[in-house]
Amino acid sequence: MRNILRTIAIALGAVIVNSACTEKIDLKLKNSEPQVTIEGRVNDKPGPYYVAITKSRLYTENNDFIGIGGALVVISDDAGNIDTLAPGFITGLYQTNFIQGTVGRTYKLSATVEGTTYVSLCKMNPPVDIDSILISTETNFQGELKTTTKMQIRDPSGVPNYYQVFSVRDGYHGQHSDRLWDGKIREFNIPHKDLASGDTLEAELWSISQQVYTFFDQFDQNQNNFGAPAAPANPDPVYTPAAMGYFSAHSIKSKTVIIP
Amino acid sequence: MFLHLRPKLKFRMRKNVLLIVLSFLFSVSLFSQTKFTISGTIKDGKTGEELIGATIFLKDTTGIGAVTNAYGFYSLTIPASKKEIAVRYVGYEDYSVTLDSMKSQSINVSLSPASKTLKEVEVKATKSNENITTSQVSAIKLDIKQLEKIPVLFGEKDILKTIQLLPGVQPASEGNAGYYVRGGSNDQNLILLDEATVYSPAHLLGFFSVFNNDAIKDATLYKGNMPAEYGGRLASVLDLKMKEGNSKEYVIGGGIGLISSRLNIEGPIVKDKGSFIVTGRRTYADLFLKLSKKENLKKSILYFYDINAKANYRIGKRDRIFLSGYFGQDKFGLQDRFTIVYGNATATLRWNHIFSDKLFSNTSFIYNEFNYTIGINVASIDVKSQIRDFSLKEDLDYYLNSKNKLKFGFLTTFHTIVPGQVISSDTARIGNIILTKNYGWESSVYAQHEISLWNKVNINYGIRLSVFSQVGPSKYFKFPNEDAIDTFNLKLGQFGKTYFNPEPRVSISYNFIPSMSFKAAYSRNVQNLHQLSTTTTSAPTDRWIMTSNNTKPEISDQVSAGYFVNFHKDMFELSVEGYYKWMQNQIDYKNGATLRANEAVETELLYGVGRAYGAEFFFKKKEGKFTGWVSYTFSRSERKFPTVNRGTWFASRYDRTHDLSIVLMYDITPRINISATWVYYTGLAATFPIGKYVLNGEIVPLYGDRNQDRFPAYHRLDIGATFVLKKRKTWEHDLNISVYNLYARKNAYSIDFKTDYNTGTSYAEKTYLFRIVPSITYNFKFSFAPLKKKQK
């Protein structure tokens, strides 16, 4: 809604007086001590699974983020499996050796970085099927014709479900909660760059936990803030002690189509 | 015998004690036979409109006088030896009358407007020193006529934007009708239009106020230290009174502007007995959209309209009936994708009754509502929301004598809030979401006493007792601990949590000399309706909630003190005021709060405290060819919530350290006047990144404590000119030209933090809404006498 209002406010300025514009400005920003970010995922497909550990930079610095090597990273589950991750192919990336994600188990990520051990827990929820992938041609807001793809799902009723939609080629897209449409048939947009006839689209539906949903929902609200926003803030940490990032154990269903 | 006498003696003694107390209190001997009372109404001689705040006084005795109330009524008790009476009102010629008999009588006065067009010489118009003599502090009465000269965005004369040029009042954002008073939020301002509450005072997402200037007769802003007759909001009351309509002749007026046009008609129903006025406005910004080459913009809708209507009729000498209403609506639609329709409606039925020459009564039945519907066509759903009040109000003015005035009454209101209901059609992918309606019953009684002592001291003290109850039929929530939610139901007629609050108010002025005074005041205010806003500027879709078992009434205590001086025969006005305000039970929301379609919205809220303080400086030249003012405010506004910034005080969204407005108007000739305004204020408090980090391959800002940073300072110059093309007795027209943001400063409306992945750098980018905005408006006015009935 905030985005819609923003669009109108700016459109109003732009249309009526043809003047709303943007411009780079210099601001004096406060600087923080570097903070640790831990991104970890476990799913019900075969491993290995990866954990990435990075450090924040000053806002005015360049974007050459370098991973933190030498951390002790352990993923374990409530069935007694304990896997100490091995260094991955770049610094700051760690990968599992043998642990296998299983629906219904609770996973624990523990990462010891420069003397501090950060811990996060996540339960893997059961997967939800993709019924079909719908392909259509629609006129977008700029008046151009675009190929649009959606996945149709049937939300299991009586339980809260949280989803993320992932396009294997072009990355992940938003998160959804069934709070307002429990048990209904639902369509999610599948994010993708321009698609041409003959392209393969591989889409995944991730069943995520409430904590991960909340993390990304808060994250998006803060990124989409507009104007003089309600004060933006970092999402509530999922790690103890606080670190940026998330730890998501989710189940996956996927479907592949070829664009006609 | 002795036994028989005692009770009588006792009775007498009691009576005497009572009389002594009374005569001390009211500083008058009640038995005196040497006084009489004159009463009546004071009107504009040309239009028949009653004048609010006109003074009537004894010519040769200082300190004996009265001021007309909201209906132009006055009552003045004077010694029998006096018979020279004078009447005064700013912008009108003085009027004197010699009484021919020394008995109580009714005297109605019509004042002639001081005309400027007759001669170039300065007209001997009345100047007022009421700002000095009244005990009221932190209040400003706006000059509606002067408003016409001040340049504004798109040439739309706007009362809400003009009050932002006054000390202690700050704009919510660029070109916005929303305002903050003394560090309070938008929803802490009460806006009354003929006593009805206007919940959403802005059109077009805040760019225009809903008040059509053509319909407004009088406007007074109270900045927190309001008299006991007002209540319900913490920061301010803006009391707007609609015109009654010309009771002598028909007048048709209007204007054609850049984005909207206006038309108004007023005239007598029966000459000098009743009159009516209807004013309307509509924008045509959507016509510009039709001109667009882009297909998607052509299909968009964007307009608002509003109508004010009022009629009044005198029934005999003692009774008068008024019926007034407002209806306005905004509509936006982007392509066929979605539409937002929202608006206010108010209706007020009033009955004035003069019980005696000392007791004036007004009874009002008031209805007001604000509603919005968001139609999301792509999802086949409508989201509907409404807030609605029914009220009964009684106010009594009792003019005890020339030194004492009592005012008392009550107000009782039944509130209904329909939170965003989701209504879906059969094809929708979302089910209906019917959130339970909430009901609240809010009542208050008040009494206040205005007393004047030794011609130097004026005191207004009073108390307002307010009570608020949550009532059924509705579902409410209880939160026994952090994660648990319990519900309980109230049946129809059942009461839930009830809050009683006494709200004492007092203001005192001391006049050293007639043109100089020192004033001080204390007020407690209570607020039971709260708006949950996720942006700085309030959006029409922001949700209102009521006080409940979880959300306590907001309470503020404000002390103000000021020094006021007029000099050069009341031509110049200078004031310095300071204030300090404590606020309890302030509301904010948790990080990532879900405010929409959420029944248990209170789980998303945080409760804390606030404080605001500041100093306001105001210098005004009221008379002459060259008029205007300079207003400067230094202020702070802070909040404290246990879980925000580790429980420390932080600058609120309403904090503006420095705020300066300069308004200049100059009459070059009687036909041409020019004006300019310059505003400067500290940028609003904001939260900027303190670093950046990587998440899902994207580079995103890392935020620190809330509101530790500032937007760049805001400043802007506007100029305007009005040319009277023709002015005759029966018709006149003029042309108004204005330029908004003359030196094209790109003031930041929003600031975004972005990353350029090609260069590997991050930067801040501001969005600004307006550069130079010129506008032109043509205004006209015809008047003609009522047609005489043909005699058969």
CATH of the domain at B276: 2.40.170.20
Above 50 in pLDDT, residue B2? no
B605 and B633 belong to one structural domain: yes
More confident residue, B733 or B206: B733
User: pLDDT at position B370, please?
Assistant: 92
Describe chain B by its helix, strand, coil percentages, rounded to 5.
10, 55, 35
Domain with residue B103: its CATH number is 2.60.40.1120
> Count of H helices and E strands in chain B?
6, 50
Sign of CA dihedral B23, B28, B33, B36: negative
Pull the structure tokens for residue A193: 């760059």
B66 and B162 belong to one structural domain: no
B63 and B160 belong to one structural domain: no
At B521 the three-state DSSP class reads strand
Q: How far apart are the first and last CA of chain B?
A: 80
Using a CB-CB distance cutoff of 8 angstroms, which residues of chain B are in contact with residue A139? 295-296
CA B700-A6-A226 angle, to 5 degrees, is: 30
CA-CA-CA-CA dihedral for B97, B102, B104, B109, to nearest 10: -10
Q: How far, CA to CA in Å, does B409 sit from each of A160, B359, B362, B392, B443? A: 53, 13, 9, 11, 11
User: Looking at this protein, which amino acid is placed at residue B2?
Assistant: F
The answer to whether the A36-123 and A130-223+250-258 domains have the same CATH topology is: yes
Answer yes or no: is B356 within a domain.
Answer: yes
Give which of B313, B216, B298, B212 is closest to B263, Cα–Cα.
B212
State the nearest Cα–Cα gap between B695 and chain A, in angstroms: 7
Contact between residue B654 and residue B637 where contact means Cβ atoms under 8 Å apart: yes
Under an 8 A CB cutoff, do A10 and B769 touch?
yes
A138 touches chain B (CB under 8 A): no
More confident residue, A197 or B23: A197
Q: Which of B596, B693, B764 sits opposite A244 (nearest CB)?
A: B693
User: pLDDT at position B511, please?
Assistant: 87
Residues in chain B: 792
B391 and B439 belong to one structural domain: yes
Q: How far, CA to CA in Å, does B265 sit from each of A10, B242, B250, B391, B780? A: 35, 14, 7, 29, 12
Cα B672–chain centre separation: 31
User: pLDDT at position A94, please?
Assistant: 95
pLDDT band for B791, please (50, 70, 90 cuts): very low
Q: Which of A183-197, B130-144, B273-287 has the lowest mean pLDDT?
A: B130-144
More confident residue, A196 or A234: A234
Domain residue ranges in chain A:
36-123, 130-223+250-258
- Count CA within 13 A, CB hemisphere, residue B24: 6
B108 and B176 belong to one structural domain: no
Under an 8 A CB cutoff, do B694 and A54 touch?
yes
Answer yes or no: is B442 within a domain.
Answer: yes
Helix (H) or strand (E) holding B323: strand B319-334
Q: CATH number of the domain at A36-123, please? A: 2.60.40
CB atoms within 10 A of CB B269: 15
Q: What average pLDDT score do residues B474-495 get?
A: 79
B186 and B105 belong to one structural domain: no
Q: Which of A24, A32, A171 sits opposite B702 (nearest CB)?
A: A32
Q: What average pLDDT score do residues B581-606 get?
A: 78
Report d(CA B722, CA B116) in Å as an integer: 15
CA B125-B130-B136 angle, to 5 degrees, is: 155
Q: B663-700 pLDDT, tens per residue?
A: 998 988 888 889 999 999 999 888 888 999 988 888 88
pLDDT band for B369, please (50, 70, 90 cuts): very high
B11 and B57 belong to one structural domain: no
Report d(CA B614, CA B579) in Å as an integer: 6
Answer yes or no: is B790 within a domain.
Answer: no
Please give the tally of structural domains in chain B.
3
Contact between residue B596 and residue B614 where contact means Cβ atoms under 8 Å apart: no
Sign of CA dihedral A112, A116, A117, A118: negative
User: pLDDT at position B726, please?
Assistant: 79
Sign of CA dihedral B502, B388, B368, B422: positive
Answer yes or no: is B326 within a domain.
Answer: yes
Q: Residues near B567 by Cβ (< 8 Å), separated by ≥ 6?
A: B515, B574
SS (H, E, C) B221-269: EECCCCCCCCCCCCCEEEEEEECCCCCCCEEEEEEECCCEEEEEEEEEE
Above 80 in pLDDT, residue B644? yes
Backbone angles phi, psi at A23, to 5 degrees: -155, 140
B214 and B301 belong to one structural domain: yes
User: Looking at this protein, which amino acid is placed at residue B592?
Assistant: G
Where among B65, B99, B126 does a domain terminate?
Answer: B126
Q: Which of A24, A37, A59 sits opposite B701 (nearest CB)?
A: A59
Q: Which of B285, B296, B767 sits opposite A16 (nearest CB)?
A: B285
Q: Which of A2, A17, A177, A226 to mutate to test the interface with B (most CBs of B within 10 A)?
A: A17
Q: What average pLDDT score do residues B568-581 get?
A: 90
Where among B70, B100, B126 does a domain terminate?
Answer: B126
Q: B514-555 pLDDT, tens per residue?
A: 788 999 999 999 999 998 876 555 566 778 889 988 889 999
Predicted ipTM? 0.86
Report d(CA B412, CA B471) in Å as an integer: 14
Above 60 in pLDDT, residue B213? yes
B258 and B297 belong to one structural domain: yes
B63 and B7 belong to one structural domain: no
Q: B148-157 pLDDT, tens per residue?
A: 778 777 777 7
State the nearest Cα–Cα gap between A150 and chain B, in angstroms: 14
Highest mean pLDDT range out of B122-126, B187-191, B338-342, B721-725?
B187-191
Could you give the percent of chain B with pLDDT greater than 70?
87
Answer yes or no: is B132 within a domain.
Answer: no
User: pLDDT at position B10, please?
Assistant: 44
More confident residue, B565 or B151: B565
Q: Which fold has domain A130-223+250-258?
A: Immunoglobulin-like (2.60.40)
User: pLDDT at position B59, please?
Assistant: 78
Pull the structure tokens for residue A230: 């309600």
A145 touches chain B (CB under 8 A): no
pLDDT band for B9, please (50, 70, 90 cuts): very low
CB atoms within 10 A of CB A222: 21
State the nearest Cα–Cα gap between B777 and chain A, in angstroms: 16
Which residue range is the domain that position B20 belongs to? 1-25
CA B591-B596-B600 angle, to 5 degrees, is: 80
Answer yes or no: is B6 within a domain.
Answer: yes
B69 and B196 belong to one structural domain: no
Above 70 in pLDDT, residue B32? no
Q: A61-103 pLDDT, tens per residue?
A: 888 888 898 999 999 999 999 999 999 889 999 999 999 999 9
Answer yes or no: is B134 within a domain.
Answer: no
Cα B251–chain centre separation: 27
Report d(CA B418, CA B435) in Å as an integer: 8
Q: Residues near B15 by Cβ (< 8 Å), separated by ≥ 6?
A: none
Q: How far apart are the first and last CA of chain A?
A: 34
Under an 8 A CB cutoff, do A227 and B536 touch?
yes
B15 and B78 belong to one structural domain: no
Pull the structure tokens for residue B312: 């009044």
Report d(CA B476, CA B419) in Å as an integer: 13
More confident residue, B504 or B765: B504
Q: Which of A21, A27, A150 to mutate to test the interface with B (most CBs of B within 10 A)?
A: A27
Q: What average pLDDT score do residues A12-29 get?
A: 68
pLDDT, averaged across chain B:
83
A25 touches chain B (CB under 8 A): yes
pLDDT band for B484, please (50, 70, 90 cuts): low
A8 touches chain B (CB under 8 A): yes
User: pLDDT at position B766, please?
Assistant: 86
Above 90 in pLDDT, residue B410? yes
Longest dimension (CA), chain A: 66
User: pLDDT at position A78, please?
Assistant: 92
Closest residue on chain B to A10 (Cα): B769
Using a CB-CB distance cutoff of 8 angstroms, which residues of chain A are in contact with residue B748? 25
Q: Residues near B121 by Cβ (< 8 Å), separated by ≥ 6?
A: none
Q: Which of A16, A218, A228 sits opposite B592 (nearest CB)?
A: A218
Closest residue on chain A to B339 (Cα): A4
Answer yes or no: is B402 within a domain.
Answer: yes
Using a CB-CB distance cutoff of 8 angstroms, which residues of chain A are in contact with residue B693? 35, 37, 54-57, 65, 244
